[in-house]
Structure 1
């Protein structure tokens, strides 16, 4: 039986334009309110045999608030942004515009002194490929949107530049099914659609 890995995007801790590289801020009140609004829909995922999360405070808090009691996975950490850690994209662009352009256009580049996009995608994909077989076929992982984007690029064997074209919204779910090296993206009807079917 194939594994079913459902990623849940962590609730946001700031407005989108204030998002920072490797943001370690906890959930703010708006984030907590968001989690409470969708908890009923996401609570059934707590039945997964294995429950994981990124090491960020907001991923852990989102998983705990949803009743998952997730195990932290270091491989699901955000991309190492080196000296840009804590900056917004706009701040990094104002300080080092040529380096930001190079980083956005070259998946092997790491002008910030951290991890390249390709290395990040490969690390997250390695985690996906090494999920235990036989310990349960359902897995839930609460992660930062960037981590989920990296997992999708890896699972679909898409070019690294595809990463920039994937939009992962806070508290959205994305499911991949398969086994190490062979993954499929799975679309399930929302609970509202399923109740109308």
Structure 2
């Protein structure tokens, strides 16, 4: 008995350089346009038995625009960035360079007062491991890029430092197949 979980990174709300920690802004015009362009490839995923999304406005809007009618899952929320919430990485680095270095180097640290990276990855892995494992079952979830990255690291049992080496673009997908505690990455062929 296994389950297939396809994660879709939410469309963007801003350019990469202006992304903010715990960003709760809705989709911008470019994000809506990207959803329209990608819809033909992503809409078929709405056939999944279960359709979820992160509770953020952009994840919900992306799922709705694709016709998923997703159920918001609090466990799929982005990493809690504590007092860094609402700031860009450049702004935080200018104010707290040593704290940013500690955060990037030690997955157990939380100099921002929020959630350590290791706890975030474990939380996302816990969500994966509690998905119903009916043979042939499928799930689709629209989530923040950080959530997709954390799921990828968890599924491959990679060292948490690998989190920083996974680039998740808006509307990119990753499919994980398996059972709780034993996941595989599935790459789909383009027809």
Q: Same fold (TM over 0.5)?
A: yes
| Cα contact 1:23–1:86 (8 A) shared by 2 | yes
Q: For residue 56 of structure 1, what is the aligned residue in structure 2?
A: 56
Q: For residue 105 of structure 2, what is the aligned residue in structure 1?
A: 105
Gap regions ≥5 residues in structure 2: none
Instruction: Tell me how far apart the structure 1 counterparts of residues 54 and 136 of structure 2 sit (CA, whole Å).
Output: 20
SS of the residue corresponding to residue 174 of structure 1 reads: strand
Instruction: Tell me how far apart the structure 2 counterparts of residues 63 and 136 of structure 1 sit (CA, whole Å).
Output: 22
Alpha-carbon deviation of 1:189? 1.1
| Cα contact 1:53–1:71 (8 A) shared by 2 | yes
Relative to the length of structure 1, the TM-score reads 0.95
1:82-97 pair list within 5 angstroms: 82-97=82-97
1:16-95 pair list within 5 angstroms: 16-95=16-95
SS of the residue corresponding to residue 12 of structure 1 reads: coil
| Cα contact 1:49–1:136 (8 A) shared by 2 | no
| Cα contact 1:49–1:135 (8 A) shared by 2 | no
Instruction: Tell me how far apart the structure 1 counterparts of residues 15 and 171 of structure 2 sit (CA, whole Å).
Output: 14
Matched, 1:7 2:7: yes
Instruction: Tell me how far apart the structure 2 counterparts of residues 86 and 4 of structure 1 sit (CA, whole Å).
Output: 34
Instruction: Tell me how far apart the structure 2 counterparts of residues 25 and 97 of structure 1 sit (CA, whole Å).
Output: 26
Alpha-carbon deviation of 1:132? 1.7
Alpha-carbon deviation of 1:136? 6.6
Instruction: Tell me how far apart the structure 2 counterparts of residues 31 and 124 of structure 1 sit (CA, whole Å).
Output: 24
SS of the residue corresponding to residue 7 of structure 1 reads: strand
Q: For residue 147 of structure 2, what is the aligned residue in structure 1?
A: 147
Instruction: Tell me how far apart the structure 1 counterparts of residues 56 and 120 of structure 2 sit (CA, whole Å).
Output: 16
Runs of 4+ in 1 over 3 A off after TM superposition: none
Instruction: Tell me how far apart the structure 1 counterparts of residues 64 and 104 of structure 2 sit (CA, whole Å).
Output: 34
| Cα contact 1:59–1:143 (8 A) shared by 2 | yes
Gap regions ≥5 residues in structure 1: none
Alpha-carbon deviation of 1:130? 0.3
Instruction: Tell me how far apart the structure 1 counterparts of residues 136 and 145 of structure 2 sit (CA, whole Å).
Output: 25
Instruction: Tell me how far apart the structure 2 counterparts of residues 164 and 29 of structure 1 sit (CA, whole Å).
Output: 28
